[in-house]
A and B are shown apart, each in its own frame.
Chain A
Amino acid sequence: MARNPDKLTLGWLLRHPLVATCILLALTIVLPYLRVGERLKLLTFLPLAHAADEVNATAYEELSEDERLRFDLDRERQERARLEAENARLIDTLRQNAELRGALGFESVTLPASVPAQVIFHGDASGWRHCCWINRGTDHGVEEGMPVVAGRTLVGRVFMCGSDHACVQLVTDPGFAASCLIVDPQTPALETDRRVRGVLRGDGSARPHFPRLELEDVAVGAEVREGMHVITSDYSGQFPLGLYVGVVRETIPQAGFLQVRLEAGLDLVNLEVVQVLMHKRPELEKQALALLKRK
Chain B
Amino acid sequence: MAYAHRAAWARSQGPVCRWRIIVGSGISLAMLQAMVFTPERFGDFTPDLYSIMALYFALFASRHGRYVPSLALGLIRDFLSMGLIGTYGVLYSLLHKASEKARGKLDPDRLPNILIMAVAGTFLVNFGYHAMLVVAGDGIGWSNAITRCGCIAIATGPFAVFLYPLIHFVLGRIGIPRAAGGYWNI
Chain A: residues with CB nearer than 8 A to chain B? 15, 17, 20-21, 24-25, 27-28, 31-32, 36-37, 40-41, 44-45, 48, 122-131, 159, 167, 169, 173-175, 203-204, 206-209, 268-269
Q: Is the CB of B138 within 8 A of A174?
A: yes
Q: How many B residues are at the interface, by size bracket?
A: 35 or more
Closest A residue by C-beta to B93? A21
- B180 interface contact, C-beta 8 A: no
- B25 interface contact, C-beta 8 A: no
Contacts of A169 in B (CB 8 A): 82
Partner-binding segment picked from B9-17, B38-46, B111-119, B158-166: B38-46
Contacts of B80 in A (CB 8 A): 41, 44-45, 124-125
- B167 interface contact, C-beta 8 A: no
Contacts of B139 in A (CB 8 A): 174
Q: Is the CB of A125 within 8 A of B41?
A: no
- B148 interface contact, C-beta 8 A: yes
The CA of A40 and the CA of B76, in the complex, are separated in Å by 11
23 A-B pairs (CB sep. < 8 Å):
A15-B65, A17-B93, A24-B89, A25-B90, A27-B85, A28-B84, A28-B86, A28-B87, A32-B136, A36-B85, A41-B85, A125-B30, A125-B81, A126-B81, A126-B88, A127-B126, A128-B133, A129-B81, A130-B39, A159-B82, A208-B40, A208-B43, A268-B40
Within 8 A of A (CB), among B57-104: 65, 67-68, 71, 77-90, 93-94, 97
A15-B85 contact, Cβ under 8 Å, with A126-B33, A174-B140, A206-B43: no
The CA of A127 and the CA of B94, in the complex, are separated in Å by 19
Inter-chain contact total with CB atoms closer than 8 Å: 124
Contacts of B71 in A (CB 8 A): 20, 24
Q: Is the CB of A31 within 8 A of B81?
A: no
The CA of A11 and the CA of B125, in the complex, are separated in Å by 27
Closest A residue by C-beta to B37? A127
* Of the residues A48, A159, A167, A175, contact of B136 by C-beta under 8 Å: A175
The CA of A173 and the CA of B89, in the complex, are separated in Å by 21
The CA of A17 and the CA of B97, in the complex, are separated in Å by 9
The CA of A31 and the CA of B65, in the complex, are separated in Å by 26
Contacts of A48 in B (CB 8 A): 31
Q: Is the CB of B44 within 8 A of A37?
A: no
- B184 interface contact, C-beta 8 A: no
* Of the residues A21, A37, A125, contact of B33 by C-beta under 8 Å: A125
Q: Is the CB of B86 within 8 A of A174?
A: no
Q: Is the CB of A129 within 8 A of B85?
A: no
Contacts of B130 in A (CB 8 A): 128
* Of the residues B42, B50, B148, contact of A125 by C-beta under 8 Å: B50
The CA of A28 and the CA of B129, in the complex, are separated in Å by 13
The CA of A126 and the CA of B33, in the complex, are separated in Å by 7
